[in-house]
Structures are given as C-alpha cells and as structure tokens.
C-alpha cells in the first residue's frame, strides 16, 4: 500500500528515505520521513572472522545479503512500496577493504576489517624511509595499519594472480560503500563503481587538495588505478537501484563517523560531535579550508554536497571509552550492567584522588602511543569501588578534553558546545562530567541514530526531498543539555592530575 497523505502534507513530502548503516558488528536499515522522524528499523549482525591473531575479516557477500534482506524488512513495517522510497543513503564502517570479481560479483576472499593489523610490517617498511608522517601533506593521515591502502597492497601482494587481474580491471577494489552501491546498481550487470570523498579520505590514496587519487600515493602503495572506484561527492545521485528497491535513487555515501557529524547537522566551522560507544570519535567541522594537525589529530573530509566545495574535519579517535565500562563489568565483575556504573559512581562525591587511564592497547589521539598500557593511580586505603567507577567515567571525560584541546590548538577555533550521541550518552553523570571538564555545554539530540540520520539527510538532499542544510538544521531538536558547573580551580587541578597519570602510562612496553 502506498503511503497516504496526512492532513497538511504536501505530495512532494510523501515517502521515506532509507538509510543503510553498515557497521562493524551489524547492519541496520532505518526509514525516515520528511520530518526526520524514524518510522521503521531492521537490524542484523554478521559474523566476525578471526583467522589469526590480529586478523579481523568479514564476509562481504554475507553483508550484501543482509542489506538485501533488511531494506524490504524495514519497508514492510510501514507497508512501503519501492515507489515510496525517494532515496537510499549509505553510511558504512570505514577503512575496511573488499575486492571482488567484476564479471561474477564474487568477493576475492574475505573483506579485511579496519581493526586488522596484518599490515604492520608493510607499514613499518614504508615509514622506515621518511617517517610516519611522510604522506600527511597529501592525504592528511599518518602511516598506520588503520587505513585502507596498506590493506589493498597486502591483498595485491599475497593473493596469487590478483595484481594482474586488478591491472586488467577484472577485479574491483573498494570500501564497503563501493561494494554496496555496485551491487545495488546491478552488480556484474553494469554496476556503478564509485566511492565518496569521506570514504576515499580514509584510504591514504586521495589527495585532500584535489579530491582525486594522488599519482604519488598510488605509486608509493603500488595500487593500479584501474581497480579503484571513481571518487564522487557524499551527496549526489550515483545511480538507480536495479534490485532490493528497484527504481530508488542512491543519493549518498559517507563513512559512519562523518555521517554522524552530518546527522548532528554540524555544517559550520567549529561545530563538533562526539560519538560515545565502545570507543569515542570526536569530529569537528573546520570549513572549506584544509586544517593540518600538529597536535595528533587526523585531517579528513567531513562531506561534500553535490558540486559545492567540500567541508573538511579534524578527527580525534579515543580507543577505550564504553569498553572500559564493559571491562569493569566482564573482567572485574564490579557491576552487572553498564548503566550500573552510574549508580556505583554516585555512592561517592568525587574520585577520592584516583585516576584510571585505560591505555589497554596503547593510546590513540592525541598521543598515538602504542607502547603505553593502562593504570589506576592515586590509590590509598580511602579509595572504594565507587571511586574506581567514578575514575572510569572521568577517564572518558578527560580523554575528550585531550582531543578538544588538540582541536582548539589546530583549528584556532574554540569549541562552543559539543553534540553527543552513542550508547554512553544515557549516563547523566558522565555527560555532566564531560561538560564540567570541557567547560562547555554538552547537548544530545532527539534522534539518537545520528549515523543513519546523516546518511538519510545527505541522500534526501541529493534528490531534493529536503531543499538545503538549513532545512535539516531546523529538524535538529535538543533532547537534553548539560551545562558546566565545576569551579575553575577543581577543573584545573583535575586536569593536571590526569595529565600526570597519562605520562606514567608511556613506555610501559619495552622493545
């Protein structure tokens, strides 16, 4: 049944945008209506493959099957027909690489996931000549196992015959967005091989200045241009779906964290969001000029709408935020559910002098210390489990402050307020603590599914379902706000203690 017009609704406002959020552990399809309201949701997990220590793989064929199943499931919840879906937007796990046969559509082995560290030797060898930052001028990124190009190189080197097939254009490479768009638009039967600027900005192969592949980077990594997707805007029509939702236009692709920034409507320079899940991802829109980082952040593309100039972003990733709460639950048994951490932390008025630096696998932004390891310091016989719980929550807040300080220093902009989303934002004590240590308001929107919302917004813009970013801004509604209440002296002394604690984690692993 086609959707019926409600009172006062205009015909051009009828229908839904379908967002596909292809994440690391699961895939979701969410339908949004013209008011930006979530009307249907379907979700499914996929298998994680760990063939060797440090290796993490996904079956791209399984992921595609899930997408093909979830979109109709979400549509069925509101009796939508293909004609009711005005556009499809994709948000995806970033930096994961898949290669597939152009003629059969069959993936070449498993996709190599962003967490996979098999390229460590390759990365070290490339960094030996010129250092970790030798390509930062072109691509904005340091040489680490995190990004896509080393994975592509690894596949080309290790899979027999793959290089020859890639050079001939018989095998295609891409991140998950490319894989999904190619399959939706016909697969072996004329599928479109594209990626967007945000996903391309995580490969190390794109020049941030030209938004096209850098000949130098292709040469350094030894990757043939013929097997790579064309780089397009984040919000533009890439093609029409030939399957799943035949006739629907595919209007957007964005890396998941950039999608969240878009869904939070951070369209102006200085606007920032932090997603608090297992880890934390803080991105700040820095405008149309590239802002280089000299304080340990990544320079990346925030989005590009149609032919408009791109917006760039600075990004600070924190490895451990919500996973510390899981660790207290699963490894120490201090709590039995994640929300209990708040109850436990509220049994004491402060941290009792205790600090907890969760450098479980080193520290990410802004330190990038792989040899650091976690510690709890300031212990006295006064300290209780309540203080440990509080210190664990404060760890997320202080790590946020470290990234924000680096952003302010790099961008010359002062963070006016922080928009937040993700599972940890249901913790009021934590959100208050973040506001306190940043000395800035923290705000949470009504629609917490910001990744999907961002993909939907970008796709809806591409097809004219929404006219412009101003219209999207008007759809952002605040659900909660936390204002700083901490006195400046307490903030300053806590910050000093935290920095001291962090210093002590450095150099723990001796090579």
- Residues making contact with ligand ADP (CB under 6 A): 277-278, 322-323, 325-326, 338-339, 341-342, 422-424, 426-427
What is the length of the chain? 511
Shortest distance, CB of residue 161 to ligand ADP, whole angstroms? 37
Angle between helices 488-505 and 385-411 (to 10 degrees): 90
| Phi and psi torsions of 456, nearest 5° | -65, -45
Shortest distance, CB of residue 275 to ligand ADP, whole angstroms? 7
Contacts (Cβ under 8 Å, ≥6 apart) of 458: 89, 234, 235, 251, 252, 254, 259, 262, 303, 305
Q: What is the DSSP string of 415-458?
A: ---EEEESGGGG-HHHHHHHHHHHTS-EEEES---HHHHHHHHH
Shortest distance, CB of residue 274 to ligand ADP, whole angstroms? 12
In the bound state with ligand ADP, the residue whose beta carbon lies nearer, of 95 and 342, is 342
What are residue 301's DSSP bridge partners? 312
Q: How far is CA 165 from CA 174, 224, 287, in A?
A: 15, 10, 40
Shortest distance, CB of residue 318 to ligand ADP, whole angstroms? 12
In the bound state with ligand ADP, the residue whose beta carbon lies nearer, of 326 and 384, is 326
- The residue nearest ligand ADP at its CB is 423
In the bound state with ligand ADP, the residue whose beta carbon lies nearer, of 94 and 232, is 94
Cβ pair 351, 383 in contact under 8 A: no
Report the alpha-carbon distance of residue 57 to residue 41 in Å, rounded: 26
In the bound state with ligand ADP, the residue whose beta carbon lies nearer, of 73 and 323, is 323
In the bound state with ligand ADP, the residue whose beta carbon lies nearer, of 339 and 412, is 339
Shortest distance, CB of residue 316 to ligand ADP, whole angstroms? 16
Report the alpha-carbon distance of residue 324 to residue 342 in Å, rounded: 13
DSSP 407: H
In the bound state with ligand ADP, the residue whose beta carbon lies nearer, of 82 and 277, is 277
Q: How far is CA 277 from CA 194, 422, 463, in A?
A: 29, 5, 32
In the bound state with ligand ADP, the residue whose beta carbon lies nearer, of 360 and 508, is 360
Q: Are strands 418-421 and 442-445 parallel, antiparallel or unpaired?
A: parallel
**Each residue of 119-153: b (16+ CB within 10 Å) or e?**
beebbeebbeeeeeeebbebbbbbbbbbbbbbbbb
Q: Report which secondary-structure segment, H or E, holds 57.
A: strand 57-58
Angle between helices 385-411 and 322-330 (to 10 degrees): 160
In the bound state with ligand ADP, the residue whose beta carbon lies nearer, of 58 and 153, is 58
**Which residue in the block uniquely carries the two structure tokens 């910050």?**
495
- 205: tokens are 């192969």
In the bound state with ligand ADP, the residue whose beta carbon lies nearer, of 214 and 396, is 396
- 69: tokens are 């199943």
In the bound state with ligand ADP, the residue whose beta carbon lies nearer, of 112 and 424, is 424
Shortest distance, CB of residue 342 to ligand ADP, whole angstroms? 6
In the bound state with ligand ADP, the residue whose beta carbon lies nearer, of 323 and 384, is 323
Contacts (Cβ under 8 Å, ≥6 apart) of 438: 397, 400, 401, 404, 415, 418, 484
DSSP 168: T
Shortest distance, CB of residue 16 to ligand ADP, whole angstroms? 24
Shortest distance, CB of residue 200 to ligand ADP, whole angstroms? 23
Shortest distance, CB of residue 201 to ligand ADP, whole angstroms? 21
Shortest distance, CB of residue 290 to ligand ADP, whole angstroms? 29
Shortest distance, CB of residue 376 to ligand ADP, whole angstroms? 18
């Amino acid at each position: 049944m086609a959707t019926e017009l409600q009172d006062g609704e205009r015909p051009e406002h009828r229908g839904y945008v379908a967002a596909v959020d292809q994440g690391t552990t699961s895939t979701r399809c969410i339908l949004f209506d013209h008011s930006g309201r979530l009307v249907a949701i379907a979700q499914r997990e996929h298998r994680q493959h760990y063939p060797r220590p440090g290796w993490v793989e996904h079956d791209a064929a399984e992921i595609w099957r899930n997408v093909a199943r979830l979109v109709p499931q979400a549509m069925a919840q509101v009796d939508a027909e293909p004609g009711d879906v005005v556009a499809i937007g994709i948000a995806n796990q970033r930096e994961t690489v898949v290669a597939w046969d152009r003629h059969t559509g069959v993936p070449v082995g498993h996709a190599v996931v962003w967490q996979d560290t098999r390229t460590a030797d390759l990365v070290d060898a490339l960094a030996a000549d010129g250092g970790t930052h030798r390509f930062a001028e072109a691509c904005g990124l340091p040489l680490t196992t995190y990004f896509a190009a080393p994975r592509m190189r690894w596949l080309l080197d290790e899979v027999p015959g793959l290089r020859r097939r890639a050079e001939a254009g018989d095998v295609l490479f891409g991140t998950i967005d490319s894989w999904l768009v190619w399959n939706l638009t016909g697969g072996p039967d004329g599928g479109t091989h594209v990626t967007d600027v945000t996903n391309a900005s995580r490969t190390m192969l794109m020049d941030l200045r030209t938004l096209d592949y850098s000949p130098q980077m292709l040469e350094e990594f030894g990757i043939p241009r013929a097997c790579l997707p064309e780089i397009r805007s984040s919000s533009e029509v890439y093609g029409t779906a030939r399957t799943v939702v035949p006739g629907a236009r595919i209007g957007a692709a964005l890396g998941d964290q950039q999608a969240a920034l878009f869904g939070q409507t951070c369209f102006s320079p200085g606007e920032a969001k932090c997603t608090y899940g297992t880890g934390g991802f803080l991105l700040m829109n820095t405008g149309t000029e590239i802002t280089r980082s000299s304080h340990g952040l990544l320079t990346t593309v925030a989005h590009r709408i149609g032919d408009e100039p791109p917006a760039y972003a600075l990004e600070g990733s924190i490895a451990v935020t919500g996973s510390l709460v899981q660790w207290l639950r699963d490894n120490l048994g201090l709590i039995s559910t994640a929300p209990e951490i708040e109850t436990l932390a509220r049994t004491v008025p402060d941290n009792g002098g205790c600090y907890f630096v969760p450098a479980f696998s080193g520290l990410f932004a802004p330190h990038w210390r792989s040899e650091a390891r976690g510690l709890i310091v300031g212990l006295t016989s006064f300290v209780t489990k309540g203080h440990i719980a509080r210190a664990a929550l404060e760890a997320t807040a202080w790590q946020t402050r470290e990234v924000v300080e680096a952003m302010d220093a790099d961008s010359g902009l002062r963070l006016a307020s922080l928009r937040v989303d993700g599972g940890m934002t249901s913790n009021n004590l934590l959100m208050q603590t973040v506001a306190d240590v940043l000395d800035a308001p923290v705000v949470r929107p009504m629609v917490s599914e910001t990744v999907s919302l961002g993909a939907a917004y970008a796709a809806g813009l591409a097809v004219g379902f929404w006219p412009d970013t101003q219209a999207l801004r008007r759809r952002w509604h605040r659900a909660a706000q936390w204002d700083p209440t901490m006195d400046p002296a307490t903030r300053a002394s806590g910050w000093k203690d935290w920095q001291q604690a962090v210093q002590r984690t450095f150099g723990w692993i001796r090579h």
